[in-house]
Amino acid sequence: MAIKLFHQCGHNAVWNRESFVDDDCGDGLILSPVHQNKNSIESLPDEVKVSSFFDPQFYLPNSQKPKLATYDFFPEVISDGFATADFALRALDAARKCVDFQAENDFCRMVIPARHFADMLPDYTDRQDAYAVHPFLQVIDERQYEGDVFLTVPMTRAMVTHEGYRSGLLNWITSYPELSGVYLLVEDNRTTKQIQDADFLMAYMKTVRELVDVGLKVTVGHANTEGLLLTLIEGCEITFGAYENTRIFSIDKFVVTDEERRGPKARLYIAGLLNWLQYSQAKQVQAEMSELWGAVYNPTTYGDGALAAAREPHFGNPSLYKHFFLNYEEQVRALESLDANGRWELLRGWLLSARDLYDEISGFPIDLDKHGAGDHIQPWLDAVNWYKRTYLG
Q: How far apart are CA 164 and CA 167, in angstroms?
A: 5
In a domain, 311, yes or no: yes
**For the chain, what is the domain count?**
2
Task: Give the long-range contacts of residues 292-295, CB within 8 A, separation 24 or more.
Answer: 292/357, 292/360, 292/361, 295/353, 295/357
3-class DSSP state for residue 8?
strand
In a domain, 201, yes or no: yes
In a domain, 260, yes or no: no
State the Rg of the chain over Cα. 21
At residue 258, the pLDDT reads 61
Residues 289 and 213 in one domain: no
Neighbours of 303 (CB within 10 A): 23
In a domain, 259, yes or no: no
Residues 73 and 114 in one domain: yes
- Report the predicted TM-score, pTM, of the whole model to 2 decimal places: 0.96
Domain CATH number, residue 192: 3.20.20
In a domain, 379, yes or no: yes
Range of the domain at 329: 267-392
Residues 271 and 249 in one domain: no
CA dihedral 274, 276, 278, 281 (to 10 degrees): 20
What's the pLDDT band for 371 if we cut at 50, 70, 90?
very high
* Residue type, position 385, single letter: N
Residues 6+ apart with CB under 8 A from 189: 157, 250
Residues 249 and 377 in one domain: no
Give per-residue pLDDT as tens, 62-106.
Answer: 999 999 999 999 999 998 777 777 788 899 999 999 999 999 999
Give per-residue pLDDT as tens, 276-326.
Answer: 999 999 999 999 999 999 999 999 999 999 999 999 999 999 999 999 999
Residues 34 and 120 in one domain: yes
In a domain, 261, yes or no: no
Q: End of a domain among 228, 254, 280?
A: 254
Angle at 289 between CA 284 and CA 291, to 5 degrees: 140
At residue 167, the pLDDT reads 97
First to last CA, the chain: 19
Residues 246 and 274 in one domain: no
Residues 291 and 185 in one domain: no
* Average pLDDT taken over every residue of the chain: 96
Q: How far apart are CA 197 and CA 317, in angstroms?
A: 31
Q: How far apart are CA 371 and CA 376, in angstroms?
A: 9
The answer on pLDDT for 254 being more than 70 is: yes
Q: Residue 373 has what DSSP assignment?
A: S
Give per-residue pLDDT as tens, 126-179.
Answer: 999 999 999 999 999 999 999 999 999 999 999 999 999 999 999 999 999 999
At residue 259, the pLDDT reads 60
In a domain, 99, yes or no: yes
